[in-house]
Amino acid sequence: MNVLTISNIKKRFGDKEVLKGVSLSVPEHSVFGFIGKNGAGKTTTMKAVLGLLGIDSGEILVADEKVVYGQTKTNKYIGYLPDVPEFYSYMTPSEYLKFCGEITGMETKDIKRRSAELLELVGLGEEHHRIRGFSRGMKQRLGIAQALLNSPKLLICDEPTSALDPVGRKEILDIFLAAREQTTILFSTHILSDVERICSDVAVLNNGRIAVQGELSEIRNMRTADEFSVEVERSEDTAKILSAFSSICKEVSPTQIIFQNHEKDMFNIMKFVAEQQLSIQRIERLEPSLESLFMEVIDK
Ligand SMILES: Nc1ncnc2c1ncn2[C@@H]1O[C@H](COP(=O)(O)OP(=O)(O)O)[C@@H](O)[C@H]1O
Ligand SMILES: [Mg+2]
């Protein structure tokens, strides 16, 4: 089942058509990476899903209910972390979640139980200081806890990792993986390595349309691996391999050579390595990267 289905939505700001017919489906319990360059229209799409922004045409369904601009009915299924979340900085994390729970009408005992669970999930279980002194990453994690408070079917996060350092980014990605059991996660990003690390599904927004969409594993297979790498221990051996196979290989470092992937060549090279008794560090088939695919499908 799809938690979110966007069908052919269009949105224009003045004479600029930002969304030119965007369609995408987010399967339940996926970690969905919504990829696009800055200015591609990711935030615009997300705001439309939340009913915060009117669209010119098309349709959005959340849990099979139609989203209507200005109405919040379908938002009961959604937890949302905006790109720049705001907090009451004089509160502690648990005070903040209590406050958020109260304004959405949760029962006190549910707020207590759920807050404790979520603060644990986002690594703020032992944090009793005020939000004022929090790092960007801590605020982002608290924002995720808040967005999950009402146990939404769909968690939408707008560029949750973009302003963070590698450690902060990994913390957020690990939280998404842990939260996947209880919800579906849709997050926008322009950082492809984050997507490669955790996403089950992706869509690339480019020039107002979805350029590719699907399961990450399928998308990787769209480009068949066409290279493999041989790493040797001694640079003299690199020279030997290069001279024997000059037409099908290239040197990328003093001890690494990349070959076009033809099975027959691979066996020939292995034979050569054995005959010459070269010391091999490793031989591996190179996975096509999401980045190379991304560069193919977007306008540069
Ligand atoms: N309220 C607005 N009025 C006019 N232009 C807007 C508005 N919101 C967004 N845009 C324009 O729409 C385009 C897409 O913006 P946005 O959805 O924020 O992209 P992204 O989140 O992918 O970086 C940008 O060119 C931006 O300048
Ligand atoms: Mg944005």
Measured distance between the N- and C-terminal CA atoms of the chain, rounded to whole angstroms: 35
158 CA distance to ligand 1 middle (Å):
13
Q: For residue 205, which ligand has an atom nearest its CA?
A: 1
Question: From residue 294, how far is each of 144, 224, 258 by CA, in Å?
Answer: 28, 15, 22
Q: At 276, is the pLDDT very low, low, confident or very high (cuts 50, 70, 90)?
A: very high
Token pair listed for 294 = 């991304």
Residue 223: is its pLDDT beyond 70?
Answer: no
Q: Is 36 in the pocket of ligand 1 (CB under 6 A)?
A: yes
Q: For residue 40, which ligand has an atom nearest its CA?
A: 1
Q: Whose CA is nearest to atom 5 of ligand 1?
A: 13
Of 79, 59, 83, 80, the C-alpha closest to 69 is 59
Of 227, 220, 218, 288, the C-alpha closest to 263 is 227
Q: Is 42 in the pocket of ligand 1 (CB under 6 A)?
A: yes
40 CA distance to ligand 2 middle (Å):
8
Contact 36, 187 (CB under 8 A): no
Q: Is 39 in the pocket of ligand 1 (CB under 6 A)?
A: yes
Give the atom of ligand 1 at the shortest distance from the alpha carbon of 53: 1
Tens digits of residue pLDDT in 32-42: 999 999 999 99
Q: Whose CA is nearest to atom 17 of ligand 1?
A: 41
pTM, two decimals, is 0.84
| 157-162 average pLDDT score | 96
Amino acid at 220: R
Taking phi over 0 as left and psi of -120 to 50 as alpha, with beta for the rest, 218 belongs to: alpha
12 CA distance to ligand 1 middle (Å):
10
Tens digits of residue pLDDT in 286-295: 877 777 778 7
The fraction of the chain above a pLDDT of 70, given in percent, is 98
Q: Whose CA is nearest to atom 10 of ligand 1?
A: 13
Give CA–CA dist 187/202, Å, rounded. 10
Q: At 300, is the pLDDT very low, low, confident or very high (cuts 50, 70, 90)?
A: low
191 CA distance to ligand 1 middle (Å):
19
Domains of the chain, CATH where assigned: 2-222 (3.40.50.300), 227-291 (3.30.70)
Among 11, 42, 44, 298, say which to mutate for ligand 1: greatest number of ligand atoms within 8 Å of CB: 44
